[in-house]
Amino acid sequence: MPTNLPVLYSFRRCPYAMRARMALLYASINVELREVLLKEKPQAMLVISLKGTVPVLQLGDTSVLDESREIMHWALAQNDPERWCSADLADAIDDLIARNDGPFKADLDHYKYWQRFPAESQQQYRTQGEVFLAELEGLLTRQPYLLAERLTMADIAIFPFVRQFAFVDKDWFDQSPYPKLRAWLDQLLKSELFLAAMKKSPPWQDGDSVMTLSSLI
């Protein structure tokens, strides 16, 4: 049955989709959740976003957000009770996320899928990614979170990618010289917000009953 809710096309394990779901849950914005199988993307999603990547948030017949950062900014513009995106930190937040989404994401992909990139060894790709990890460690030596004494959008946007990097070789990460980063990651992994965002839902098919994001809480 159709609803008046925004529709979110998502994939549970995608780090971009993770941060979008976390932002929507934090902002108490309910959406219709449609879990996507990446090898069988629904036509309804492809019609509104030719990119064919998740997440995609359909706000109306012609209004679509198909970048996770756009979805996060939109959600926080509606409701930001703990000032995740306060004006005084906006530039620093955007800069740190841009470096995560650019150079660090490239290093992460090379490290995780190193067999596809034989120009360097997996260890070399990890070393390249460690440049950003070391920067985050330095930030966390000054305060509990990346840019402030409280969570900001930067923590939530970057955390899923650090999580992915850590789990490529968990034994290595557990003994790596980044204790502050490990503690930060562990705290977010155990947070109610992340646990809610990661609850499983069945793949969506046209005609299915409506599942909402709030039902995961």
We report the CATH number of the domain holding residue 208 as 3.40.30.10
Q: What is the pLDDT of residues 173-215, one digit of tens each?
A: 999 999 999 999 999 999 999 999 999 999 999 889 999 999 8
SS3 120: coil
Q: What is the pLDDT of residues 121-164, one digit of tens each?
A: 999 999 999 999 999 999 999 999 999 999 999 999 999 999 99
> Within this chain, do residues 75 and 125 fall inside the same structural domain, yes or no?
no
Task: Supply the pTM of this predicted model.
Answer: 0.96
Q: List the beta strands (DSSP E) in the chain.
A: 7-10, 32-35, 56-58, 64-65
**For residues 135 and 184, what is the distance between their CA atoms, to the nearest angstrom?**
14
Residue-range definition of the domain harbouring residue 164: 87-191
> Within this chain, do residues 95 and 158 fall inside the same structural domain, yes or no?
yes
Residue 109 located in a structural domain: yes
Q: List the beta strands (DSSP E) in 11-160.
A: 32-35, 56-58, 64-65
pLDDT at 132: 98
> Within this chain, do residues 93 and 179 fall inside the same structural domain, yes or no?
yes
> Within this chain, do residues 115 and 132 fall inside the same structural domain, yes or no?
yes
**For residues 80 and 28, what is the distance between their CA atoms, to the nearest angstrom?**
9
For the chain, percent of residues with pLDDT exceeding 90: 93
Cα 213 from chain centroid (whole Å): 15
